[in-house]
Structure 1
Amino acid sequence: MDSYTEKVLPFKSSPSFLEKTIAHNGEINMGYLLQNFDEIAYVVGTKHLDIPSCLHRVPSHILTASVEHFHILHPITIQDIKISGHVVNVGTSSIEALVKAEIISCADKSLGTRMKLKDSTINRIAAPTPKTILIAKFNMVAVNIETAKAVKTNSLITTNLRERRTQELANDIETSTDGKPETSKGANNIGANAFDKKKNSMGEYKLIRDTALQNAFIVTPQDRSVLGYLFGGKVTIFVISYWPSRMFAGSNVRMYSLDEAKFHSKVNVGSTVKLTAQVIYSSEDDNMFQVKVVYSLSDCNGTFGGAEAMTANFTFLSLDKKIKNVVPMTLKENELYIEEAGYSTACQKGDL
């Protein structure tokens, strides 16, 4: 797997580096880790496309289509971390990359945060180890630079048993619909009386609409990718999801997982983007709740329509206080609630 790439983040061995990346609570900034994961995935996909022997290859680049199950396997403490990844599966124009982060004993200070792009004699497989703290699978697509249309990617050859087992692991990290109810059918069967009964039976609650927070920004040239529009790694999905999480829980919270992130359309420089984040499901049993983030584009009149550029679902854990139940009051909110309830049930059963 020649696409292997790694990057060292010396949080522990370099106080000056930690100072630039630390969060308000003294922990490593999760948004920074998400950005580095996306960066590694992009480099991995680009390396897979880049074959020096193909002199007449089509000029192409990689776009992230979605992120599946960004899992936090162990608590993240102030340690030196190595992020690594490589391609595990390919389709006609699609590329799947497995990216992980693991604790290392001591960072190579001469390396700093530079990437190792060349072949390495060390472990070049991104399969989890006892020191692995994060793992995620990125689904990407190869596109022509000039036409922005999908192009054929290179094939992938596994040469040993470890590489084949890593492929099997990546296949297991998939979004499954097992255990999920039919959301549209469930939503249509709930009326105003059902809402009232639900509220009365849930004790202390909070309405989903009251958990929403919004923000807006204009995409600048500094946010663009090599293709000229918004780079996924620059998207502040974690920041916008963290705000309503703190307000809903009324205490410190910790990100448990990024369940899914999907990029629906490109966002050009100069575009106005509205960010909306709200709690859509909560579980008092495990003190965890889900937050949905939506990026919407404004039209030429400056109004925000229904066009969604990106959506993401996070799971958070309340650390200090018992959370309240959230209650949907519209059919759309109820559809989201039922979908997340089904997803949570499937996770508990081990279907996901």
Structure 2
Amino acid sequence: MDLNSSSPQTIPVVSTFSSPFDQSPPVKDPNSASTRKPISLWPGMYHSPVTTALWEARSKIFEGLLDPPKDAPPQSELLTKTPSQSRTTILYNFSSDYILREQYRDPWNEVRIGKLLEDLDALAGTISVKHCSDDDSTTRPLLLVTASVDKIVLKKPISVDIDLKIVGAVIWVGRSSIEIQLDVIQPAKEESDDSEPVALTANFIFVARDSKTGKAAPVNRLSPETELEKFLFEEAEGRSNLRKRKRVGDRKEFENGEVNQLEALLAEGRIFCDMPALADRDSILLKDTCLENSLICQPQQRNIHGRIFGGFLMHRAFELAFSTAYTFAGLVPCFLEVDHVDFLRPVDVGDFLRFKSCVLYTELENPDQPLINVEVAAHVTRPEIRSSEVSNTFYFTFTLRPEAKATRNGFKIRKVVPATEEEARRILDRMDADA
């Protein structure tokens, strides 16, 4: 399939030195007596070449969200939609757009994963809006927020010199939740144009809230048509049921069944704390792998609902996780996946946000591909009231780039051990989740 093929739901991404919308005059909507503002003047837009393209392509939908009628009623009748109605493709013309290519290039001539995470969240949000829209400007629009990321898996390196596309659609719908699956597709140089190897897969879960009451709101139903769509729906249904069961039973099962594992993890950590001269030099305390950074959340980072854009948080968490793995291994890491992420509380403009990272544990069974599991916790800190709450916890898995390993003979990844029971519990929780 030609990556540059276009359709009504295919959005090309272009990059210029300045936004083509900055100086746009107001656009007259032929179906309305009102005047539509240029997108760059709408509040709460997190600007990038991708988000600008997405929001411009669906300006009428977002305009309704941003300026709903006063005291508008909620949607009275749910619609039934198909996955194809929300399916959207976005194109990155890296081969012909030099500026766009440079915005996404990392030091190894690949796509910056952090920026790609931003784009995935933006596209998933747009697809969820598309599915939940009832095409009636007189009803109250829903608030759609990222509830969690089920998993993001990198299947092969993504080159910044070859055109790229992301294809996404709604694959499952509950009462008030929606799962969107996204595939990043990029053919290799030596492959024919009609091949579409998937380089990365991601599943995002969004939840709907009533924009007036803030309570959970029902969303349009989904009717899968093809065998693949039915299969994806059943898989997503199974994941949803599994998440519900885990929320109910995980902690009790751990308390009753894994005390011995907890003690085994703590035993080596106690040697580091009590007899450091006798500790294993091939191990390191978890607290000695930590990094941290902080920021004040700015208005430019907010989404259409006035909260901090979830993709921005993932981007910043990824950059810190990469740095943590780099300083831990002493070699350039290679990203493999993001595990399940729950967005526990919203982050507001003006919040003091602290990202704290550590290497949680390593897997060394395969010497050719050692795994480094990094945890990044985002804390919303309020010094004036002496409080700090976890907003999100991200789990990234890295290995080492092959060319980096070749530069150092006899390198060895160290084992990470906990010094406290709380650290040991975190390690075991993640090991169980990854099993």
TM range (shorter): 0.7 to 0.9
Q: Secondary structure at the match of 1:26?
A: coil
User: Which structure has more RCO (C-alpha within 8 Å, separation ≥ 6)?
Assistant: 1
**How far does residue 172 in structure 1 lie from its aligned partner after superposition?**
6.6
Corresponding position: 1:244 with 2:327: no
In the alignment, the residues of structure 2 paired with residue 281 and residue 12 of structure 1 have an alpha-carbon distance, to the nearest angstrom, of 39
Aligned position for 2:263: 190
**How far does residue 84 in structure 1 lie from its aligned partner after superposition?**
1.2
Corresponding position: 1:21 with 2:104: yes
**How far does residue 11 in structure 1 lie from its aligned partner after superposition?**
2.6
**How far does residue 297 in structure 1 lie from its aligned partner after superposition?**
1.1
In the alignment, the residues of structure 2 paired with residue 244 and residue 57 of structure 1 have an alpha-carbon distance, to the nearest angstrom, of 47
More off after superposition, 241-250 vs 2-11: 2-11
In the alignment, the residues of structure 2 paired with residue 135 and residue 187 of structure 1 have an alpha-carbon distance, to the nearest angstrom, of 36
Deviations 1:35-76 (A, max 9, x none): 111011001100011121x45433212100000110112232
Aligned position for 2:18: none
More off after superposition, 315-324 vs 91-100: 315-324
In the alignment, the residues of structure 2 paired with residue 87 and residue 150 of structure 1 have an alpha-carbon distance, to the nearest angstrom, of 19
In the alignment, the residues of structure 1 paired with residue 340 and residue 117 of structure 2 have an alpha-carbon distance, to the nearest angstrom, of 13
Contact kept? 1:88, 1:97, Cα under 8 Å: yes
Q: 1:221 aligns with which of 291, 299, 321?
A: 299
More off after superposition, 129-138 vs 290-299: 129-138
Change (3 A) 1:147 1:222: farther
Unaligned runs of 5+ in 1: 107-122, 124-128, 347-352
**How far does residue 194 in structure 1 lie from its aligned partner after superposition?**
5.5
Task: Give, as a single letter, the amino acid of the residue that structure 1 aligns with 2:293.
Answer: N
Q: 1:205 aligns with which of 268, 283, 296?
A: 283
In the alignment, the residues of structure 1 paired with residue 259 and residue 355 of structure 2 have an alpha-carbon distance, to the nearest angstrom, of 25
In the alignment, the residues of structure 1 paired with residue 271 and residue 288 of structure 2 have an alpha-carbon distance, to the nearest angstrom, of 19
Deviations 1:73-132 (A, max 9, x none): 2232232110111111111111111111101589xxxxxxxxxxxxxxxx9xxxxx8511
Contact kept? 2:284, 2:416, Cα under 8 Å: yes
Aligned position for 1:323: 413
1:77-88 alignment to 2 at 5 Å? 77-78=159-160, 79-88=162-171
Deviations 1:182-215 (A, max 9, x none): 5445469528645347997965111110111111
**How far does residue 166 in structure 1 lie from its aligned partner after superposition?**
3.1
TM-score, normalization by structure 2: 0.67
In the alignment, the residues of structure 1 paired with residue 308 and residue 417 of structure 2 have an alpha-carbon distance, to the nearest angstrom, of 34
Contact kept? 1:9, 1:82, Cα under 8 Å: yes
Corresponding position: 1:277 with 2:357: yes
Contact kept? 1:80, 1:105, Cα under 8 Å: no
**How far does residue 249 in structure 1 lie from its aligned partner after superposition?**
0.8
Aligned position for 2:68: none
Change (3 A) 1:41 1:193: closer
Aligned position for 1:164: 230
In the alignment, the residues of structure 2 paired with residue 304 and residue 316 of structure 1 have an alpha-carbon distance, to the nearest angstrom, of 32
More helix by share: 2
TM-score, normalization by structure 1: 0.82
1:35-46 alignment to 2 at 5 Å? 35-46=118-129
1:34-183 alignment to 2 at 5 Å? 34-52=117-135, 54=136, 56-78=138-160, 79-104=162-187, 131-171=197-237, 182-183=253-254
Q: Report how many residues are paired.
A: 320
Change (3 A) 1:184 1:313: farther
Q: Secondary structure at the match of 2:305?
A: coil
In the alignment, the residues of structure 1 paired with residue 196 and residue 224 of structure 2 have an alpha-carbon distance, to the nearest angstrom, of 24
1:294-309 alignment to 2 at 5 Å? 294-301=377-384, 303-305=386-388, 307-309=389-391
Aligned position for 2:40: none
Change (3 A) 1:74 1:156: same
Q: Secondary structure at the match of 2:156?
A: coil
Aligned position for 1:5: 88
Larger radius of gyration: 2
Q: Secondary structure at the match of 1:34?
A: helix
Contact kept? 2:110, 2:157, Cα under 8 Å: no
**How far does residue 300 in structure 1 lie from its aligned partner after superposition?**
4.7
Superposed CA RMSD: 2.8
